[in-house]
Amino acid sequence: MLAYRHAFHAGNHADVLKHTVLVQVLRYMAQKDKPYWLIDTHAGAGGYSLGSPEAKKKGEFEQGIARLMDRDDLPAAVAEYVALVRAFNPGGGLGRYPGSPEIARRLLREQDRLRLFELHPTDLQHLAAHHAGRAHTEVHHDDGFSGLKSQLPPPSKRGVVLMDPSYELKADYGLVIATVREALLRFAECVILVWYPQVNRLEAAQLPKRLKSLAPKGWLHARITVQSPDSQGFGLAGSGMFVINPPYTLHAEMREVLPFLAGALAQYDGASHLLEQRTG
């Protein structure tokens, strides 16, 4: 369970989709003065060096964020996300990539709360050191699946949960469903973002269908497919974001974003996208 390190995948096409959606949700939440909580159940290290041996091993960022940095035709939502990546590289270029906690750190207001969960001891150390100075922030050495229930409902009755486990363990798919179900029982209005990989596994294909049944007040499902599986049928073909209680603005934003990302990040001729939603 502690073998996974996001440093190997930082800035890849899955991060591009996940963080583009996250930025838009947090921008929307900040439109009201009332504070909100962001709870990241699998926070990772918070930020990553793209020159590290881990990032360079497969160079996944080269087929992800690196393809977007110098483009001048980005949709507005993608441009906001890329601007945050550029700000994380004040010297120019692309030497570092901001994880979800760093993106949150740059978008949350002084009154908003940030709760970060991470189990890997090395990533936890980096995470805690980087966020030690931010007010209203807690870093927990705990499993976010079990730790989430202690954070809901937030006192302000406004909250966002980001859930993006590695899914290296088959059990993660079931844990996502169980954790989302319990979270909505505790706080039905919570905005929940679930990232999932598009891989050759039945549980991955079933996950969005199972999440739909948990979201009677509405959901949005966005997915991009950018590469073909390998000769054995394995590999990360793409990924999806399933958003429960999404901002009403998100569908229009994703309608512009998804075809652009599918084209810009395509690694084969069959690249595609999917966008669907149900309103409450």
- Amino acid letter at 280? G
- Verify whether residue 40 is a known catalytic residue: no
For residues 97 and 107, what is the distance between their CA atoms, to the nearest angstrom?
Answer: 16
Catalytic annotation, pick one of 15, 40, 112, 164: 164
How far are the Cα atoms of 11, 167, 256 from residue 170, in angstroms, in the given order? 24, 6, 33
For residues 46 and 106, what is the distance between their CA atoms, to the nearest angstrom?
Answer: 12
Cis peptide, bond prior to residue 153, ω within 30 of zero: yes
Alpha helical stretches, state H, 92-233:
100-107, 121-131, 144-147, 171-186, 202-212
Just list the catalytic residues: 164
